[in-house]
Amino acid sequence: MKIKRALVSVYNKTGIVDFCKELQKLGIEIISTGRTAKLLRENGIRVLEVSEITKFPEMLDGRVKTLHPKIHGGILAIRDKDEHIRQIREQGIEPIDLVVVNLYPFEEVVAKGASLEEAIENIDIGGPAMVRSAAKNYKYVGVIVDPEDYPKILEEIRNTGELSEKTREMLAFKAFLHTARYDAIISNYLGSVFEYGDFPEIFNLSYRKIAMLRYGENPHQRGALYSDGSKKGIANAEFLQGKELSYNNLLDAEAGWKLVNEFKEPAAVIIKHGNPCGVACASDLQEAYSKAYECDPVSAYGGIVAVNGKVTPPLAEKIISVFLEVLCAPDYDKEALKILEKKPNLRVLRVSGDFERIGIRQISGGLLVQDEDLVDLKPEELKVVTKKKPGTKELEDLLFAWKVVKHVKSNAIVLAKDKQTVGIGAGQMSRVDSTEIAIRKAGERSKGSVLASDGFIPFPDTVQKAAEAGVTVIIRPGGSIRDQQIIDAADDLGISMVFTGIRHFRH
């Protein structure tokens, strides 16, 4: 069906003048509104105002302009249905063949910290109505919401005078994606502002694709990266150098970033396959990284590093001295970036933003949604349950280990000393197996260390092995039916034990 009339009303005016000039050259009549019409006229484009068609002025500060039968009748009429054509002719309505609309920038306005009143005024009403009308009637009407589509649409119209059904189908699909995302962002914002909680009856998610990845977890799986539209977190990190990020790189970077931001003092984390293999705090990042690397140099090979401060030249020199896949930091010294360029394959990310408050995971047929595990214990909240009490320095190490263990896959055991992990046992089906792995990793460094267990210890064997390795204090949630038996074992072995009352499972 030949395109004769186009309705153009856009907030994002990128490319719209050149697009409309070409439409005019092709003999297509242009209908427009407000600022779009003004811009087109200023650039020598003939425009028919919507108000000239509706015989009704724009009103209520522009809230009402296109919501009129003479507009929507022209968009929604089924062209090969005689009764529809008869009705619009009786009402003096002419068909509209192309709708070019994009919406008020609600997402951008809210991201800048707008007031509720300003946000409300950036909820588009007429725009989504026109987009949805045109997309519903895609068999006869083309709808463009993305300025990037202008060139290919023009080319098709030049060649054929119309848009193919396949093109109109693609445009309708994009249009409904556009309005669905728009409404999801608005509903999520209002739910937050009006404090209707984080677990609504209908859970809307809206993400925009940033890139296709080379593959997913394995080469035979496809993968893509989507963004929530913010400037926070790993998905929205600034990519400064290196090879293309992989699916697994991004998962490991996320694990490192979440863990390193547990600490206010300088901290470094090395991640391998989703688990930390080294974590440390120190007076500066260079020392923290060195201590994290010392924990398990073998596992650190090809790992992902995250630090919670600016990367300096000395730290950069240490980082490029070994093979690492990704470096995540909130900032970089200019000279440090030059040093990192010596390893051109090292992926370097500048990341901002703290933890998400809600965690989301997909299961077959649905989603699991939960509060993120953000509990931060203080020394006075720990309950000493043994005769022997931990010392001040041991308490510091206990709290350090307790922060680390919640980022290790269950069953998880962490040995730490001087705010440095010395042994980590992750993901075993038996807690005593995780303990044995952590002790083996630590070797002689286990002497004088503390042990953190993410869940309750069911049998005294874990306590026995810890004592034999030289562990002096154990921190754990408590809650086992054999708690007293395990406490008695700790007393008999001369080690301290504290309960948190909080479990840190990670599946």
Positions marked catalytic:
136, 273
Give the pair of three-digit tokens for residue 218: 């394995």
Q: Determine how β-strand 303-307 pairs with β-strand 267-272.
A: antiparallel
Determine the 3-state secondary structure of 374 from DSSP. Answer: coil
Q: Which residue in 34, 40, 35 sits closest to 17, CA to CA?
A: 40
CA–CA distance, 292 with 268 (Å, rounded to integer): 6
Give the pair of three-digit tokens for residue 219: 């080469």
CA dihedral 250, 255, 259, 260 (to 10 degrees): -20
| 492 Cβ contact partners less than 8 Å away, ≥ 6 residues apart | none
Q: Where are the beta strands (DSSP E) in 109-207?
A: 142-144
CA–CA distance, 2 with 46 (Å, rounded to integer): 20
476 within 8 A of 452, measured Cβ to Cβ: yes
Give the pair of three-digit tokens for residue 209: 């694709």
Residue type (1 letter), 117: E
CA dist list (Å): 176 to 173, 455, 470:
5, 46, 63
Q: How deeply is 405 buried, as exposed, middle or buried, from its count of CB atoms within 10 A (0-12, 13-18, 19+)?
A: buried
| 28 Cβ contact partners less than 8 Å away, ≥ 6 residues apart | 3, 4, 5, 6, 98, 157
∠ Cα 118 123 124 (to 5°): 135
Ordered DSSP codes for 22-36: HHHHTT-EEEE-HHH
Q: How many CB atoms lie within 10 A of CB 390?
A: 23
